[in-house]
Amino acid sequence: VERALRALPDGPEAVLAEAVAVLDEDERVNRAASRHAADLVLAHCARRPLRLLTHCNTGRLAAVAWGTALGTVRDLHAAGHVEYVLADETRPLWQGSRLTAWELAEEGVPYRVLPDAAAASALALGMVDCVLVGADRIAANGDVANKVGTYGLGVVAARHDIPFVVVATESTVDRTLPDGDGVVIEERAADEITHVAGTPVAPEGAPVFNPAFDVTPASLVTAVVTENGLMRPNR
Positions marked active-site: 136
Question: What's the residue count for the chain?
Answer: 235
Strands 111-114 and 50-54 turn out to be: unpaired
Q: Is the peptide bond before 92 cis (omega within 30 degrees of 0)?
A: yes
Nearest 5°: phi and psi at 41? -60, -45
Query: CA distances (Å), 221 to each of 11, 138, 166, 167, 190, in order?
Result: 43, 12, 7, 11, 31
Instruction: Judge contact between 205 and 148, C-beta under 8 A.
Output: no
- Residue of 76, 4, 39, 7 lying closest to 227 (CA atoms): 39
Q: Name the DSSP class of 74.
A: H
